[in-house]
Every structure is written in structure tokens, then in C-alpha cells.
Amino acid sequence: MKYIKTLILVFSIFYCSITFAQHRDVSIKLRHGLPNVLKVTNVRVYSGSATSAKISIWIAVKKGKVVSVSRGRGDWIITIRTRGQVSTYVVSEKSFKIVGEESKAVQIRALHFTEGS
């Protein structure tokens, strides 16, 4: 009986450690130069070294809809339509810094948007 209880305890610890390791949060905090109409909701690091990091960013559009997103030479051009008005924002990748690791160069792998009203 004691052997079975020990075996169950060891199995439970093993199962919990595997479960929590798989659901580990890889999100980070980010400083950014986004316009007020956009809000960062999540950031994930996909690869990194001591000098750079490749990240994906989830952005909520507070009001409006995304018309287009394009990329060119370290800048992202985001066009948003709000109540018939179209606004274009140029956001530099250099304006994104990982909190606590500001010396790292940041390369954005992808931007993901959710749209507001």
C-alpha cells in the first residue's frame, strides 16, 4: 500500500511539472512608440540572442478598422479607417524596446490586430 501511494505521488508530481511547463507564459513587457489609437495587448518572443530578439505583437485598435499594413526597411505603415476618416501611421521597429533589455535590437516577426468599434 505504501508503495502504491508513493508511486501515485511521484506520478502526480511528474504530470503537474509537465503540464505547467507546456503552459509557461512566454509573453514579455514592451515599450513602444505606437499612436494612441493602438494598444499592445500581447507580445511573444520567437527567437532571441544577447543582442536581438524576434517578436510577434498583438495590437488592439481602440476605434476603427485596419485598412492595410505594410512593412519596409524597419518601419511598419498602418492605415486605419475611423468613421469615414482614414489615418496612416508610420511606426519604426526601433521604437519597440523590451523592458529590462533595452539594448537589444527588436525585429517584428508579425503584427496581429483586433479591431474596435
Three-state DSSP string of 79-104: EEEECCEEEEEEEEHHHCEECCECCC
pLDDT of residue 9: 59
Q: Give the integer Cα–Cα distance in Å for 115 and 80.
A: 10
Q: Is residue 86 predicted with pLDDT exceeding 90?
A: yes
Query: Whole-angstrom Cα distance, residue 79 to residue 50?
Result: 33
pLDDT grade, residue 45 (50/70/90)? confident
The amino acid sitting at 39 is K
pTM: 0.69
Q: Looking at residue 10, what is its pLDDT?
A: 59
Say what percent of the chain tops pLDDT 90: 21
Torsion sign, CA atoms 58, 60, 61, 66? positive
**pLDDT at residue 80 is higher than 60:** yes
What value, to the nearest 5°, has the Cα angle with vertex 66 and ends 70 and 33?
65
Q: Output the pLDDT for position 24.
A: 42
Q: Band of the pLDDT at 33, cuts 50, 70, 90? A: confident
